[in-house]
A and B are shown apart, each in its own frame.
Chain A
Amino acid sequence: EAQVTQNPRYLITVTGKKLTVTCSQNMNHEYMSWYRQDPGLGLRQIYYSMNVEVTDKGDVPEGYKVSRKEKRNFPLILESPSPNQTSLYFCASSAYTGITEAFFGQGTRLTVV
């Protein structure tokens, strides 16, 4: 079954404690990205990756890091989380950009206290 898997689904952490949200896809997709979803703001792109070892900033990259060492994995790293990073995060993948369908993970609800 084609899917994007994120872990964990829920996470409560304290300010400043480094965390990683994992994302893996089994569709051999080139393009992967991270979004955050906030009430009244819709989805905003954090980072994206066109291929292995190729990553770039999206619209709201501050406070986040990513890496793409393998095609299937695209972890999101928060080196020093702050309360304003409390949000619902989605990983997505697609074969290419443009007209192709994006597949989304089930989301990670992060709370930073």
Chain B
Amino acid sequence: GDSVTQMEGPVTLSEEAFLTINCTYTATGYPSLFWYVQYPGEGLQLLLKATKADDKGSNKGFEATYRKETTSFHLEKGSVQVSDSAVYFCALSGSGANSKLTFGKGITLSVRP
């Protein structure tokens, strides 16, 4: 079945550091890929998405490119802020009619001033 693998955490960075969070996936067909973010005490919210190979999703300075050849969707940001501290989930949705979101385990990012 479908699966998503995220790098182990937690991750602690200083403000203005470069961020990369790795995500790889296993799926049949042509899934859509997502990054969701969960701020403390809140539900998940969509950060960005990409629906086909070579698409780049971007939002709030974050970017991720759908790489079919490496089955990856790594999240990057050039300069993190304290307000980016949160839990980040990579997810995929399959191409079938009843496709559901399959999530990675999530990774906690802490940004210190």
Contact = CB atoms under 8 A, between A and B. Distances in A.
Interface stretch (B13-21, B68-76, B78-86, B96-104): B96-104
Contacts, number: 58
Contacts of A56: 98
A4 B43 contact: yes
B100 A99 contact: no
Dominant secondary structure at the B interface: loop
Contact of B32 (A43, A99, A104): A99
Interface residues of B, number: 23
Interface in B6-51: 32, 36, 41-46, 49, 51
Nearest to B104: A42
A90 B97 CA distance: 22
B44 A98 contact: no
Interface of B: 32, 36, 41-46, 49, 51, 89, 93-95, 97-101, 103-106
A33 B94 CA distance: 16
A101 B47 CA distance: 10
Q: A98, A101, A107 — which one has the most chain B CB atoms within 10 A of its CB?
A: A98
Contacts of A105: 43
A101 B100 contact: no
Contacts of A50: 98
28 contacts: A33-B100, A40-B105, A42-B103, A42-B105, A43-B89, A43-B101, A43-B103, A43-B106, A45-B100, A45-B101, A48-B100, A97-B98, A97-B99, A97-B100, A98-B32, A98-B93, A98-B94, A98-B95, A99-B32, A99-B49, A99-B51, A99-B93, A102-B36, A102-B44, A102-B101, A103-B45, A104-B36, A107-B42
